[in-house]
Amino acid sequence: MINNRKTIAVFINQVTTGYRRPFCETINSTAVSLGYNVVFINFMGIIGGKHRDYGDYEYKFIDVIPYDQFAGIIFDEESFTIDGMVEKLVAKIKEKAKCPVISGSSYMEDFYNIVFDDASGIELMVQHLYDVHGCRQIGFMSGPFKHPDAAARLAAFKVIMKKLGLPEEGSGIFEGNFWFNKSEEAADFFFREGRERPEAIVCANDYMLMGLYKSLKNRGIRVPEDVILTGFDGTEEGQAFIPRLTTVDRKREVVADEAVRMIDKMVRGEECPRLVTVKASLILANTCGCKNIDYKKEVRRVNLSTEQNRTVNYYLGDVIGATLKMNLVESIEDLERTFAEHAVNFGGYRSFCLMTYYDEKSGRTSLEKGMALPTDKVYPAMLVDRWHDFDGCERKIISTQEFLPEQSNGDPKMMYVTSMHCGERVFGYCSIAMTGSGVFNEFFNVWIATLAVSLESLLRQNNIRELISSLEDTSVRDGLTGLYNRRGFETRSAEAAGKMPDDEKACAMVIDMDGLKKINDHFGHAEGDFAIRKMADIIGSCCTDGKIAGRTGGDEFYIFAPCCNDAQIEAFRREFLDKIAKFNARGEKPYLLDASFGSYLHEMTPDCDVEELIRIADENMYEAKQEKKRRAASGM
């Protein structure tokens, strides 16, 4: 897999969102420093606020991943958003993996765990509000009560409140959802008329704090002058927010670094504890009043953000233009070229590879045959290599156990693998290798979705071409035998004749079945049809070297042989009669196959076309049939 280095796998959802970016970057830095490849098995989950269509079918990819090929696995349970996905992944990891598995976010039975001490973070924050700011009326905005992290943080809040001699419920406990969109309800809850206002509200994560801040600001409630707000998790967004958030630093980078180092120790035979606890620390900033806003610094940051927005808009225009181009391509080769030319705005990358599923029975890939489930073979349909990592790599079908094409460059790689599907239809998976420890930006997710739609479009184009070809074939083929019908024979033989050199001879042959009426009368039309098909099979098997055969009547067959001579005609006749004799000798049927044969060889000239050759060959066949009848009548 990848190269001769050991590989650490990271199972994660949406690597670019929230805490995942610094978490993944630290994994990359530490793993590369220790000489490991890293493969992020990156799931997309729910896209936007409500679009589940993509994530709902990602579970199919779970059966493809070569769990037993990894030196270690890091599992980020907290990041997954699709119900049931964690359970499916955990079951498969327990069944297949042969390496240490470390949970880096939530405690998971049977795995090694690096657990952040949520309780100590809540206790530190409430103690800070009590000791430094003199707060006694403290409210709590929880996550979903049934969520394990939310439950742990809420329990810790009640413990420290009781320890400080304050009511466990404080100034009230509101159930949020770890996101922005419950902020108005929370503001109503804590600041409804007739209720004693809280001096501080501890939010169970930064996103709820940011949402609540905006709702309170719209009501004229000042932070921190009128009420102190604090968060949890120490997210990038929280530290970029104005005002800066007072929050609990969950030390994701420490967890990431420790997880990789634990895997390295176990690979080298050392023992590690099953549970490692990371203690919390506080980030004290503007929303509690411990630090004042530096407006000059924030203005510079806003200006920088404006420049970044211009860049985003520029990139967005690129993506829109490229999306239009990608959905106009007519082949996977065109799609590969378009991607290589335009896909440049999601970070520096070394290589990109699209592995399509391959069905051994049909000999077709997922771009030629619609697939609802993955197969155990894949083919690199797209390979964009910017750093020569795949120099000398042969594009060939490989097992999903191999997972990715082997790279010629032996440096440690940081690769992100994502399922490629469109609705229920599966195409395969793609991998991207980045140039540094940073992860790709959100534009890559746009490219993934665009590629999925482009692949669906290519598959439909291929299906339409196949349907058209099938319809065309039906119009020129005989339904009973599969040979050309009269129209097909005339068309194909005229085409073949038109391509012949002027001085070459061609031969027309006419074969007429003998005794078909007797077979129909004595054994039924089903047996008559069988006899016709068998005769057609024999004729077809004899028609090599460009010969064209057709069934042009009930029991009549035409053959056109371009660039022919007398010896070849005689060889055909002997082979044809020999195969009939062998069939009859087997005695499979209560009747014998028989046929009369006529041919005519002539140069192809303007006065002698295929139709004229057939006419004369038919006359010769008729003479042969009459001669056969005369011999039969005389007993010869």
Q: What single string gives the DSSP state of each residue in 564-629?
A: --HHHHHHHHHHHHHHHHHHHHHT-SSS---EEEEEEEEE-BTTB-HHHHHHHHHHHHHHHHHHHH
Both tokens assigned to 370: 């619609």
> For residue 301, what pLDDT is reported?
54
What mean pLDDT is predicted for residues 38-46?
A: 91
309 pLDDT above the threshold of 60? no
Cβ atoms < 10 Å from Cβ of 292: 9
Cβ atoms < 10 Å from Cβ of 475: 11
> For residue 449, what pLDDT is reported?
84
**Residue 175 neighbours by CB under 8 Å, 6+ apart:** 142, 143, 144, 145
419 pLDDT above the threshold of 60? yes
Which tops the pLDDT comparison, 232 or 47?
A: 232
> Tokens 């420290």 appear where?
160
Q: Note the pLDDT tens digit of each residue in 563-604.
A: 999 999 999 999 999 999 999 999 999 999 999 999 999 988
Q: Is the dihedral of CA 434, 437, 439, 441 positive or negative?
A: negative
What mean pLDDT is predicted for residues 115-139?
A: 96
- What CA–CA distance (Å, rounded) separates 150 from 156? 10
What mean pLDDT is predicted for residues 167-184?
A: 95
- What CA–CA distance (Å, rounded) separates 380 from 395? 6
Both tokens assigned to 125: 């924050």
Task: Give which of 600, 603, 596, 597 is closest to 613, Cα–Cα.
Answer: 600
Contact 528, 519 (CB under 8 A): yes
> Tokens 């209560």 appear where?
590
Distance of CA 176 to the CA centre of its chain: 34
> Tokens 């530190």 appear where?
124
Greatest distance between any 2 Cα atoms in the chain: 129
CATH architecture of 116-251+276-293: 3-Layer(aba) Sandwich (3.40)
Beta-strand ranges (E) seen in 84-234 are 101-103, 112-116, 138-142, 173-175, 200-203, 228-230
What mean pLDDT is predicted for residues 162-171?
A: 96
> For residue 158, what pLDDT is reported?
97
- CATH fold of 7-99+317-462 reads Beta-Lactamase (3.30.450)
User: H or E segment at 475?
Assistant: helix 443-476
- What CA–CA distance (Å, rounded) separates 593 from 531? 7
Domain ranges of the chain: 7-99+317-462, 116-251+276-293, 486-634
Whole-prediction pTM? 0.71
> For residue 292, what pLDDT is reported?
86
Task: Give which of 26, 11, 44 is closest to 436, Cα–Cα.
Answer: 26
507 pLDDT above the threshold of 90? yes
Q: Note the pLDDT tens digit of each residue in 253-289.
A: 999 999 999 999 999 999 999 999 998 899 999 999 9
Task: Give which of 470, 462, 481, 372 is closest to 421, Cα–Cα.
Answer: 372
Q: Note the pLDDT tens digit of each residue in 335-351.
A: 899 888 887 777 889 99
Average pLDDT of the chain is 89
Q: Which DSSP string corresponds to 175-243?
A: E--SSGGGHHHHHHHHH-TTSPPPSEEEESSHHHHHHHHHHHHHTT--TTTT-EEE-SB--HHHHHSSS
- What CA–CA distance (Å, rounded) separates 631 from 443? 84
- What CA–CA distance (Å, rounded) separates 44 from 115? 24
Task: Give which of 240, 242, 247, 159 is closest to 204, Cα–Cα.
Answer: 247
> How many alpha carbons lie under 13 Å from residue 316 in its C-beta half-sphere?
6
Both tokens assigned to 526: 């089903």
Which tops the pLDDT comparison, 44 or 33?
A: 33
Q: Note the pLDDT tens digit of each residue in 435-488.
A: 988 898 877 888 888 888 889 888 888 777 766 666 666 678 888 998 999 989
- What CA–CA distance (Å, rounded) separates 276 from 194? 47
pLDDT band at 56 (very low <50, low <70, confident <90, very high): confident
> For residue 314, what pLDDT is reported?
53
What mean pLDDT is predicted for residues 76-85?
A: 88
- CATH 3.30.70.270 fits domain 486-634: yes
